[in-house]
């Protein structure tokens, strides 16, 4: 049984559409066009699924380009960043501004090299006073910046051998929903848990913040709870829908992640989001918070689900590790590890590794047998688990990602090559 995308004509099989699990519809894997369905497994007279006409999203109009004021120059550069659909803007002394487009660095068109003095004049007026003082003392600082009607930006100032520089990451004006991302039912089920620890992991720039934002937005639309987020800085802004959401920024509304997390226990939360689990004390309090009846979301810079478990445990002294194993075995409910891959035709898409905290996974953590978790994930596909190689293979089979791109991103290249061979996928270099 198939359904044709009304935009590009791509044929989705029933398994790809997963209609029983996704009554809200799916995105075409080829052109990302939204396909909505009238119900669960409703069919037309031809035996195929009859898609509804997708609703067109309203176009977001950009505000007028700034022409004056102390931040006019950086605002114009940020306008160029958004209009180019790039993810990051880099300003470094001695070279023209550069953009990161689909993961690759490119020069900003029609730009010239900037001196240290010019960059300092352009950047300093946009920073809050506290961050200007921190930059003067430490030579680096982080903060969020917003252009009304355009976007928010995560900003970093630094100094290198050539002088002052800055990096700016776009935080989209519109929140990307879990439905837009195509997150599986098993991942969304983690949002309905009454308590536990859920981790989103991956390298820097892999889209962890976007995934967490989608999960918080899903909770905001489907639960009636109190959510506290602790971030540095606040990136996506969540308005109250069905939930009460309090967003706190480290160094502005609280001194540290650990202080805010400890205080959150006295603020009647149901769900707590920790932007970064940076140190041992923050990790410890997060696990304790999950154990005491709260649902905790957090991030770590690990590449796989099994290595996430090891990273948490290894942070603690040897005499505490067994106790942490027991606590983590009880509280860990899910790990989503992700990396961004270049799509065929432009853009990027996340490959997701999913670990669900089943009884067998808990036993392996408790018994210090984390090296066997990958095997449990391979045999637990019916529970929603998925290894990174499984995810990469699926993206290649759907012709969303090229085989060579998947191979470049794979950590277990030998295993992925074996999967390619079994599925008749040949790398260009092997032809």
As beta bridge partners, residue 299 has 200
**Where does 107-170 have alpha helices with state H?**
116-123, 129-138
Q: 99: number of CA atoms within 13 Å, CB side? A: 19
Question: Token digits for 223?
Answer: 């639960």
Residues 280-333: tens digit of each pLDDT: 999 999 999 999 999 999 999 999 999 999 999 999 999 999 999 999 999 999
What was the pLDDT predicted at 19?
44
The separation between the first and the last C-alpha atoms of the chain, rounded to the nearest angstrom, is 33
Mean pLDDT of all residues in 18-43: 49
As beta bridge partners, residue 338 has 352
What percentage of the chain carries pLDDT values higher than 70? 84
* 178-386: CATH topology: Rossmann fold (3.40.50)
Topology alike, domains 72-171 and 178-386: no
Question: Token digits for 290?
Answer: 């999950």
pTM score, two decimals? Answer: 0.78
Cβ atoms within 10 Å of 277's Cβ, excluding its own: 27
Residues 168-184: tens digit of each pLDDT: 999 987 888 999 999 99
What sign does the CA torsion over 358, 360, 366, 368 have? negative
Q: Which of 170-179, 196-205, 222-231, 401-410 has the lowest mean pLDDT?
A: 170-179
Tell me the C-alpha to C-alpha distance, in Å, between residue 66 and each of 108, 112, 372, 374, 427.
19, 20, 56, 52, 48
Residues 37-88: tens digit of each pLDDT: 444 333 333 333 333 333 344 455 667 776 678 999 999 999 999 999 999 9
**Local structure of 413: helix, strand or coil:** helix
Contact 395, 401 (CB under 8 A): yes
Residue of higher predicted confidence among 139 and 276: 139
Residue boundaries of the structural domains of the chain: 2-35, 72-171, 178-386
Q: Which long-range contacts (CB under 8 A, 24 or more apart) does 6-14 make?
A: 6/33, 6/35, 6/51, 6/53, 6/54, 7/31, 7/33, 8/33, 14/49
- Helix-helix angle 72-83:116-123, to 10 degrees: 90
Distance CA 431, CA 413 (A): 18
* 72-171: CATH topology: Beta-Lactamase (3.30.450)
Residues 133-148: tens digit of each pLDDT: 999 999 999 999 999 8
């Amino acid at each position: 049984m198939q359904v044709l995308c009304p935009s590009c004509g791509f044929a989705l099989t029933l398994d790809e559409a997963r209609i029983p699990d996704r009554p809200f519809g799916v995105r075409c894997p080829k052109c990302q066009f939204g396909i909505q369905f009238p119900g669960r497994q409703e069919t037309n007279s031809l035996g195929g699924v009859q898609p509804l006409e997708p609703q067109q999203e309203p176009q977001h109009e950009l505000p007028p380009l700034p022409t004056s004021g102390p931040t006019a120059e950086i605002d114009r550069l940020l306008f160029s960043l958004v209009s180019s659909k790039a993810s990051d803007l880099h300003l470094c002394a001695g070279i023209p501004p550069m953009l990161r487009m689909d993961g690759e660095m490119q020069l900003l068109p029609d730009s010239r090299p900037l001196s240290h003095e010019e960059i300092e004049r352009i950047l300093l007026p946009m920073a809050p006073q506290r961050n200007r003082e921190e930059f003067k003392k430490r030579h680096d600082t982080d903060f969020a910046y917003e252009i009304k009607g355009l976007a928010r930006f995560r900003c970093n100032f630094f100094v290198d051998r050539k002088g002052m520089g800055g990096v700016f990451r776009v935080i989209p004006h519109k929140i990307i929903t879990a439905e837009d991302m195509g997150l599986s039912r098993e991942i969304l089920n983690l949002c309905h848990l009454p308590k536990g620890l859920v981790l989103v992991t991956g390298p820097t720039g892999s889209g962890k913040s976007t995934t967490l934002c989608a999960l918080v937005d899903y909770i905001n639309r489907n639960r009636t709870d109190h959510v506290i987020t602790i971030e540095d800085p606040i990136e996506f802004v969540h308005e109250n829908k069905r939930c009460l959401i309090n967003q706190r920024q480290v160094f502005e509304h609280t001194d540290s992640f650990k202080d805010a997390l400890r205080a959150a226990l006295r603020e009647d939360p149901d769900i707590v989001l920790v932007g970064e689990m940076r140190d041992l004390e923050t990790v410890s309090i997060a696990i304790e918070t999950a154990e005491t009846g709260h649902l905790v979301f957090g991030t770590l810079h690990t590449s796989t689900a099994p290595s996430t478990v090891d990273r948490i445990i290894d942070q603690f002294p040897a005499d505490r590790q067994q106790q942490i194993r027991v606590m983590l075995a009880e509280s860990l409910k899910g790990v989503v590890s992700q990396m961004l891959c270049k799509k065929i035709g432009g853009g990027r898409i996340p490959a997701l590794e999913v670990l669900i905290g089943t009884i067998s996974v808990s036993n392996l953590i408790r018994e210090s047998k984390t090296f066997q978790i990958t095997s449990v994930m391979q045999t637990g596909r019916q529970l929603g688990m998925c290894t990174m190689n499984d995810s990469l293979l699926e993206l290649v089979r759907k012709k969303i990602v090229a085989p060579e791109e998947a191979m470049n991103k794979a950590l277990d290249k030998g295993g992925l090559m074996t999967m390619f061979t079994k599925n008749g996928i040949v790398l260009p270099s092997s032809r």
